[in-house]
Amino acid sequence: MASDTLYISRKDGFDEFVRNLDDGFRLGDWDVHPRQNLLTGQEREVHLTPRCMDVLVLLARHSGQVVDRDEFSKSIWYPAVVTDDALTRHISTLRKSLGDDLEQPKFIETIPKRGYRLLATVKPLASSPPPERTPAVVTASRATSRKVDHTARPLRPLGLALLVVVAGLAGLLIHMTRPTEAVAPTSIAVLPFEAFGIEEDDLLTDGLHHDLLTRLSHIDDLRVISRTSVKRYHDTILPITDIAAELDVAWIVEGAVQKFGDEIQLNAQLIDGANDSHVWARTYRRDLSAENIFAIQSDIVEDIAASLETTLSPVEEEQLHAAPTDSLASYTLAVQGRAYLDARTEDGAEQALVFFRNAIEQDPDYAIAWVGLADALTMLHDYGYRSPEEVLPEAEAAIEHALELNPELAEAYASLGALYSTRVKMPEAIRSLKRATALRPGYAEAHNWLSWNYQLIGMPAEALESARIAVELNPFSLEAQANLAGSLIGEGRFPEALEQARFMDTLYLPFTGNFNKALALYLNGKYRETIEILEPMQVAWAGGGPKAVRALSHIKLGERQQAETLHDELLELGHHFSAGLILAALGEIDAAFALMDEIEHWGHWPALAMNLYLETMVPELVDDARFAELLTDLRRQHGLDADGRL
C-alpha cells in the first residue's frame, strides 16, 4: 500500500458527508452515484447492480479500514443467509468495473482471512449528481404491481390473469418512458418454470425452459444466464432482488406452465431485478403442438427484446422463428433424452441413446435429436464406458447429418468440436467451437470447452478470455470456474488464480478435488498446504498430476524420501511423465528424459504441464535442449506446427 494513499479523515469534518454517501461521492477518477447505481468516468459509464453498489458504499463508509465478511453480511444481506461467494463475486465485479488490479490494487485490497479495504480517496462530488436515471417502472410499480410472495410459489394462473391486465398497462407506460440509455449487453436470467394444475407435465415444462434459454442465447446484445446456474433457484424462497444480485443480472423472467387437455398455457413475467417491480405479465395459450411450442418461445423472446429495447438482426430473426421439428412426439422424446443425458452416468447415457433414436425415428429431419445422439455416444467414450471404435464413428456421422439438415446449428458445431478434441485434432476442435460461439454468442458450454482446449494447446490468453465469458454466462458451473482458475495459472497470475480457486470452494458444488487450487498453492509457494489438500485427492483427467505436485512440494520442503516414494508409486502405475517430473526436480535430468521418451500418448495433464506449468514448476527440464524435442512431439500429436500455431 502506497504511503501517499489518502483516506477520509473523521477529524477533517467529513462525518456528515460520510453519513450521506448515497448522495454521491468521488472515488479516484470515478464519480459514484449510488441512487442511480451508476459509475461515471472520463470516457465511459458503468451500471452496477444495486447489491454491487451497496458493497461499494459500505467500503466507502469505512474507507481505509478493513471491513470483514460478517459486517458485509450483516449490513447488506441480513436477514437472508448467503455464502461468501456472493460477496466475492461482487468484489470481482467492482474491480472489473473500476479497472482495478488484484495484485497491485488502487481501489480494493483483499485482506486474507478477514475481508476487504478501500484504498482510494473518497471525496464529495464537485458537482451535483446526474439527472435521475431510475426507470419509470420504479414509480409505476408503486401504484400498479403487486409484491410477489416468493415463499408461495408456484405462480397461480388466476392471479396472473388479473395481473396481465394491470401490468400490461404499466408495461406500456414503462416502454414509453424508459430512458434510451441501457446497460449493454443487457443481462437476464430466466428462472426454472413451474408445472402446475390438473395436468402437470414437468418434462414439457423443462423442455420449454431449456429451449427458451437457447433462443435467447442467440441474441448478441443479451447476456443470458445458463440453465446450469438458474436451475438452483427452482422452488427457492430467495427474493428476486437477491437472485438478481447473485447472478449479476438486471432482469428476471419467471414462468409457469399448465396443460389444459389439448392446449398449453405459459404465464410469464418480466421483472426488474433491482427492485422486484413487474414490467409485464402475459399469458401465452395455444393448441398443444410442436409448432405452437416453438411459437410461444418466439413470442416471449420478441416481447422481452421489445421491452429491453434490443434490436434483433435479420439472422437472429430467422433463428427465432425457426421450428426445429413439427413432430410433438419427436420433440418430447428428445427432451426425455436430454434429461437422461444430464445425469452424466452410464445408465443415463444408455437411456438417452434409446430416446434420441426414437426421436429420430419419429422425425428423421430433427437435427437436434441427431446432435443428442452424438453427445450420448461421445459421453459413453469420454467417461470410459465404451471404446473409441464402438461409438465415435457413429457420433461423427450423426453430427455430419445434423449439419446437413441445419448448416447453422450451433449445437452441432459444439458437439463436433468436443469430438475433435476427443480425437486430439486440436485445430479442428478450436475452429468448430469458435463457429458455435459465433452462431450462438450466449452458448456458455461452447465458450467453456473453447477455454479448455486453448489451455491444452498452450494459449492461456485466449483460454482466459473464453473462461471469463463462460463464467459470466454460467457463474455456478464448476467447469467454467475451474477453467478460469486454470487459465489464470497459465497466464502466470498466481495470486489471482489462488483467489479464484478458493472462491470455487465456496460454491458448494460436487467435485472430487480442486486440483487447480493445489496448483495455485504450489505456485504461490505454499507447499505444506499443497500437500495437505493433495493427499486424499484423485482427479480422473489429471492422471498422475496430484501425486507429482505432492512430490514437488516435498522436494521444496527438503523431504526427499517422501518424493521418492511417490515417484515409485507413479512408475508402478505407468505415469511416466509425472514420474519424470519428480526425477528432474531431484536433479536426475537424464533419467527424467529417458522416462519421457517412452511416452506415446500425451494426456491432458502432461499437455497442460508441458505447455503452461513447467517453466515455473520444473525449470531444469525446460532449460534442456531435449525439452524442445518433447514439445515438438506433443504439438505434432495435437495437429499443430512446430511453433505451436494452429
* Nearest C-alpha neighbor of 468 from the set 494, 493, 488: 488
Strands 108-111 and 66-68: unpaired
Residue 412: per-residue pLDDT: 97
Instruction: In whole angstroms, give the CA distance from residue 216 to residue 237.
Output: 25
Domain residue extents for the chain: 10-123, 137-323, 512-646
Distances (CA, A) of 416 to 16, 107, 388, 410, 428: 62, 44, 15, 10, 9
What distance, in Å, lies between the first and last C-alpha atoms of the chain?
A: 43
Show the CA angle centred on residue 285, arms to residues 138 and 361, nearest 5°: 125
* 299: Cα separation from own chain's centroid: 27
Residue 438: how many CA atoms within 13 Å on its side-chain side? 8
- Rounded to the nearest 5 degrees, what angle is found at the Cα of 540, between the Cα atoms of 385 and 547? 150
Residue 132: predicted pLDDT: 39
d(CA 241, CA 233): 13
CB atoms within 10 A of CB 43: 6
Give how far Cα 593 sits from Cα of 376, 458, 620, Å.
Answer: 39, 21, 11
CA distance 132 to 383: 55
CATH of 10-123, one of 1.10.10.10, 3.40.920.10, 3.40.50.300, 3.40.50.620: 1.10.10.10
pLDDT of residue 23: 80
C-alpha cell at 104: 497491485
Cell numbers for 311, please give them.
Answer: 434490436
Q: What is the predicted pLDDT for the residue at 48?
A: 78
Residue pair 458/644 in contact (Cβ under 8 Å)? The answer is: yes
User: Phi, psi at residue 45, to the nearest 5°?
Assistant: -115, 150
Q: Where are the alpha helices (DSSP H) in 342-477?
A: 346-362, 367-382, 388-405, 410-422, 426-439, 444-456, 460-473
d(CA 93, CA 188): 16
- Predicted confidence at residue 596, as pLDDT, reads 94
Q: For the domain 137-323, what is the CATH superfamily, name and number?
A: ABC-type transport auxiliary lipoprotein component (3.40.50.10610)
Whether 512-646 and 137-323 are alike in CATH topology: the answer is no
**In this predicted model, what pLDDT tens digit does every residue of 18-75 receive, in sequence order?**
556 778 889 988 999 988 888 898 878 887 777 788 899 999 988 888 999 888 888 8
- 557 vs 528: CA distance, rounded Å: 8
Looking at residue 158, its pLDDT comes to 34
CA pair distance 76, 380, nearest whole angstrom: 46
Q: How far apart are CA 50 and CA 272, in angstroms?
A: 11
Quote the cell numbers at residue 56. 461499494
CA pair distance 368, 359, nearest whole angstrom: 10
Q: For residue 295, how many C-alpha atoms fall within 13 Å in the half-sphere facing its CB?
A: 12
- The type of residue at 25 is F
CB 52 within 8 A of CB 145: no
CA distance 236 to 151: 8
Report the run of H or E that residue 164 belongs to, with start and end: helix 157-177
- Enumerate residue ranges in the chain where pLDDT < 50: 1-15, 128-184, 510, 512
Tell me the H-state helices in 217-288: 227-230, 240-247
Phi, psi at 476, each rounded to 5°: -105, 20
What CATH number should be reported for the domain whose range is 512-646? Answer: 1.25.40
